[in-house]
A and B are shown apart, each in its own frame.
Chain A
Amino acid sequence: MKKLMIGNEAVARGLYEGGIGLVSSYPGTPSTEITEVLATYDDLHSEWAPNEKVALETAFGASLAGIRSACAMKHVGLNVAADPLFTMSYTGVNAGLVVCVADDPAMHSSQNEQDSRHYAIAAKLPMLEPSDSAEALQFAKDAFGISEKFDTPVILRMCTRVSHSQSIVETGDRVVRKKIPYEKRPSKYIMMPGYAKLRHPIVEERTKKLEELAEDCPYNRVEWGGRDIGIITSGTSYQYVKEVFGDSVSVLKIGMPNPLPAKLIKDFANNVETLYVIEELDPIIENFCRSLGLDPIGKEKFSIIGEFSQKTIAEAFGLDPKETVKADTQPPARPPVMCSGCPHRGMYYVLAKNKITVLGDIGCYTLGAAPPLCALDSTLCMGASVSGIHGFLNADEAMSDKTVAVIGDSTFIHSGVTGLINIAYNGSNSTVIILDNSITGMTGHQQNPTTGYNIKGDPAGKVDLEALCKSIGIRRVRVVDPYDLKACEEVLKEELAAKEPSVIISRRPCVLLKYVKTKPPLKVDTDKCRSCKMCMKLGCPSIAIKDGKAHIDDTLCVGCEVCSQLCPFDAIVKED
C-alpha cells in the first residue's frame, strides 16, 4: 500500500518488516520517532533505555540470544554508545543488529554537527544512508540481512531532512523469523586480549568482503546523464542535486558510505569531464577520492558547515538566483521559548534574581539561557552540569555559595547520577538542582525511569529520586514546588549555605502533559498596574505590555500564578 511517511517511520516499518524482535533506545531529535513507531507494534519488545549505551548493549544481548534487534539515537547519542559499538565490531552478532543514528546538519535541535560517518570508519562497520523514506524502509529492512551475512552490526545513517521529511513508501509484509539458537563461543564473544587478537584479523577480512559488496550492490548506483559534469553525492544532497539538474548531469549516488566503492568511483570519474563531490558536513567521500588519486571539486565550493538545499547547490554552480519578494520591514526574530506555565520558569527566575552561576544541561530547560532570564552559564552534553560543578568548585571553592548545577529528570538518569556519585564520593560542596518535570520534554514527551510508566504507557518500575540521592551519600535532599517562588528562594539559600553537597528536586509535571489540569487564565487589573514590568522579568509568552500596561493573553495563560507572586501591586488577578 502506498503511504506518506516521515523517514523515521519508514525506518521503523523497514525494521518491522525485517523481523525485528527488540528495540531499545534513548530519545533524541531527530531520531525519536523510529522507536515511537516501533512501540506501536505488539509483536516485538520496545523500550526506552536510560541512555544510548544501555540501549545498544541491550540490543547486543538480544542479538546474542538470537533475535534481530535495533536501537536508535541522535548523533551525539552515538558518542555515549561508542564503547560497546567499537567492540561489537569485533564480536560481530548472532542475529542481525542495526544501529540507527540521525545526524543534525545545521543543528536544528543539537549542540554540535558531528558527522557520524567517522564512527563507521573508526569502528570498521558497514553503514547505509537512505535519501528518502522509500529507501529508508528498504535499507533498514536489508540491514538485518547484511548484518547476519557479514557477522557485523550495521549502522543506518539518517539526517534531519530524511528523518523528518515525508515521502511515499510502499509497505510490505513482516517476515516472521525463527530465533537463531545461542551457542557458547568464548573466542567470538569474550573480548579479552587473547580472543580479541584473534578477532581483529577477522574484522579486516570482513571489511574486504564489504568492499566487494559496495562495488556491486543496489545502494550505490550510477545515473548517467550529460558527461560534462559528474557528481558523487549521498543522502539528502542527492535530492537537491536531482532537483537542480534532473537527468542533465551524471550522478553516482552513494547509499553505502562505508566502505566506499573504489572501483565504481574511479570508473565514474574516468567517464566524466569534471568531477564534483557534494556531501553535507565533512569531506569523507572527497578525501576517499583523493586517496584514489582523483581531484574532485568538493568542500572548496560546498560548505563543510550546515546543511544544503537546491539553492546552495545552484548558487555553487553559478546558476541565476530566483526572483524574490523582500519586505523592507525586518521581522523581529522568534526564538523558541519556555511555554506558558513551564515549571522550569519559577526556579530559573529565583536563580537569575540571586545572580547564581548555573552549569546547565541538555533539555527544554536549556531555553533558560535566553533573555530575559539569561540564567545559564554553560551547556555541554548530557550529565555535564553535575560532573562539571564538581570540577568547578574544586578549582574555586569560594564559589560554592553561589553556584548550582541544573539537570532534568531524564537527563539525570541518563548520565547525571554518575556525576552525583562523584560529588558524594570525592566530596565537593556542590548544589545540584534536579528539574523534575516528570517526563522527557524536549523530544516530545517520552517516559523515563522516573515517571513510573514504560514506552507503551503501562505502569513500570519507578526510580525514587530522593532515596537514590540519599543512597549515593547525599544527606541533604530537598523537594520544592517551582510554582512557589518564596519556597524556592528559601530552599536555594539554605542549600547554598550548607557546608556539604545537596540536591534540590524542583518537582512539578510539564504543563503540556495531558493529565496536568491547568487553571483559568489570569488578568491584569489595569487600575492597579503601575507598569513596573516586574512580571516581564519572567519571559512568559503570555505576558506583554499593551498601551503601557501589562497584558495577559487569555488564549495562552494557564493560570500558574508565578507572575502574580512577583507583582508588587497585586495587579495580576484571577478572572471574575
Chain B
Amino acid sequence: MSTTNIMIVGVGGQGSLLASKLLGNLLVSEGYDVKVSEVHGMSQRGGSVVTYVRFGDKVYSPLVEEGEADFILSFEKLEAARWAPCLKKGGTIIVNTQEIDPMPVITGAAEYPSGILEELKSKGVDIDAVDALSIAQKAGSAKAVNIVLLARFAKHFTIPVESWETAIANTVAPKFVEMNRKAFELGYNA
C-alpha cells in the first residue's frame, strides 16, 4: 500500500504528543511501518505545534510536506487554516472548533480571522468540524480533546473500535482510562 500521511496540529500544551503516540503504537500493532515526527522544546510553550504520523508498507521521511496530508487533525480552528496547504487534494480536515487567541491577537496587533472553515469548504476541502472541547468536558476532562478528535478520525478507518480502546488503555495513565474511553465513545458517536 502507499503511505498514508496524517498531521496533528494545535497549540503547545493541548496534548497532541499523546495523540501521536497513541496513533503510532496502534498502527505498529496493526503491522504497518510507521514514522512519527514530534515537536519538543521551545514551541511547546503555547506556540503552534505540528506532529506527523506516516504509515504504510515502507516509510522513509518522517515529515509531511505541502500537498501530502491525507488527514489533518486540528486541535484549534486557526491552526487548521495555517496547515491547510499541507493537505492533499481530496484530503480531510478534522477540526476542533475551539478558538485560542495567539499572542498577536491578544496584544491587538492582529485579529482572529472569521469564516476560516467556510473558506476552506468553499475551496473543496472536506471539513469535519466538531466541538471537541465540550465533548471532552462531558466525558470528564477538557484534556480529552485529543481522544475525541482521534475518535472522529477512527471513523475513516477499518481498524476495529476494540483496537482503539486497547491502544487508549496502553497509552494513558490507568486512572484516566475510563474517562478517555468515554471521550472516545462520545466523539465517535457525535
Could you list which residues of chain A lie within 8 angstroms of chain B, going by C-beta atoms? 2-4, 6, 29-30, 32-33, 108-109, 132, 161, 164-168, 236, 239-240, 242-243, 309-311, 321-339, 364, 367, 370-372, 442-444, 533, 536, 539, 541, 543-545, 555
Contact = CB atoms under 8 A, between A and B. Distances in A.
A123 B21 CA distance: 39
A323 B67 CA distance: 5
| Residue among B107, B108, B115, B120 having the largest count of chain A Cβ atoms under 10 Å | B107
Interface in B1-60: 11-13, 21, 24-25, 28, 33-48, 59-60
A208 to B, nearest CB: 35
Interface stretch (B82-90, B148-156, B173-181): B82-90
Contact of A30 (B41, B62, B68, B125): B41
A236 B79 CA distance: 27
Contacts of B28: 2-4, 168
Given A243-B61, A339-B45, A367-B45, A166 B36 contact: yes
Interface string B102-113: 111111111111
Contacts of A541: 46, 101, 103, 106
B40 A332 contact: no
Contact of A337 (B45, B79, B111, B123): B45
B186 interface: no
Nearest to A107: B42
A539 B36 contact: no
Contacts of A555: 142
Contacts of A168: 28, 33-34
Given A239-B60, A325-B124, A555-B142, 15 more contacts: A29-B42, A108-B41, A108-B43, A166-B34, A236-B62, A322-B65, A323-B67, A329-B115, A331-B116, A333-B104, A334-B11, A334-B79, A335-B103, A337-B47, A541-B46
Contact of B105 (A336, A367, A444, A544): A544
Contacts of A545: 108
A76 B184 CA distance: 43
A305 to B, nearest CB: 17
A325 B125 contact: yes
Contact of B84 (A327, A339, A371): A327
Nearest to B82: A331
A232 to B, nearest CB: 17
A364 B11 CA distance: 17
A335 B87 CA distance: 22
Contacts of A239: 60-62
Interface band, chain B = 35 or more
B129 interface: no
A322 B39 CA distance: 24
**Chain A interface SS verdict (over half):** loop
Given A310-B65, A328-B119, A109 B40 contact: yes
Interface of B: 11-13, 21, 24-25, 28, 33-48, 59-63, 65-68, 78-79, 81-82, 84-89, 101-113, 115-116, 119-120, 123-125, 142
| Max chain A C-beta neighbours (<10 A), residue from B60, B79, B89, B107 | B60
A30 B37 CA distance: 13
A322 B88 CA distance: 8
A391 to B, nearest CB: 28
Contact of A334 (B36, B47, B61): B47
Contacts of A6: 38
Contacts of A166: 21, 24, 34-38, 62
A335 B105 CA distance: 11
Give 3 nearest A-B pairs by CB, closest first. Answer: A322-B67, A109-B41, A29-B41
Contact of A543 (B39, B106, B112): B106
A30 B40 contact: yes
Contact of A336 (B37, B42, B65): B42
B171 to A, nearest CB: 11
A310 B38 contact: no
Nearest to A312: B65
A336 B39 contact: no
A326 B85 contact: yes
Contacts of B109: 332, 371
Contacts of A338: 45-46
Contacts of B46: 334, 336-339, 541
B45 A325 contact: no
A422 B101 CA distance: 44
Contacts of B85: 324-326
A565 to B, nearest CB: 19
Nearest to A310: B61
B85 to A, nearest CB: 5
The residue in A168, A331, A372 that gathers the most chain B C-beta atoms within 10 A of its C-beta is A331
5 contacts: A4-B24, A236-B62, A334-B82, A339-B13, A444-B41
Contacts of A161: 37, 62-63
A46 to B, nearest CB: 19
Given A166-B34, A326-B84, A371 B89 contact: no
